[in-house]
Copies of this chain bind each other. A is one copy, B any other.
């Protein structure tokens, strides 16, 4: 543990902080708890970071949840997008729900960090950047699905990406509060269908009707 560069130690502290926050919440993430978790002395903390706030900010910057739409992309590897686009989105949402249910504390930590960022100087911009990443990931997935099934979206992809982000966030908070996994799975299916309802009708076969996008 005591080997490596200065940057490594910084990273060790960030990782330790994330574990502590997941376990105890942002409020419980004291410098003492974090340094204990990282196996360094309290004094060393202030050699690496000037303040606790600086660490929290660094944690937020680090942990934009890169796994969030990974499941979606995994689902695209299977070839089913062509025949069952809703199934692909549902599978992606379910992959995220698997992640959430396996590590609820981690996802709760993400939420707490975002909310605490909103109360810190520059935090609003940090949060904005974080959500832009989510938004872009979601938009890419939607583009890929449309390409895979040779159809196009009847509603701007940015709006549908926003919808997907909203749904992911909503499923997270709702499940964290209720722990009703069956309801979350049903929600994922309904959400997936709601998104794919915005696919233009397949030019050849007669699929389910699409929703038009009012302007």
Contact = CB atoms under 8 A, between A and B. Distances in A.
A170 B198 CA distance: 19
A186 interface: yes
Contacts of A173: 111, 114, 169-170, 173
A144 to B, nearest CB: 20
A174 B131 contact: yes
Contact of A163 (B127, B155, B190): B190
A191 B177 contact: no
Contact of A177 (B24, B118, B171, B194): B118
A130 interface: yes
Q: Which of A160, A173, A197 has most chain B Cβ within 10 Å?
A: A173
Interface residues of A, number: 50
B130 A177 contact: yes
A58 interface: no
Contacts of A193: 211
Contacts of A169: 169-170, 173-174
Nearest to A135: B178
A48 interface: no
Given A162-B186, A183-B162, A194-B194, A177 B131 contact: yes
A118 B187 contact: no
Nearest to A171: B166
5 contacts: A108-B115, A159-B186, A162-B174, A170-B171, A189-B214
Shortest beta-carbon contacts, A-B, top 3: A170-B170, A166-B170, A209-B209
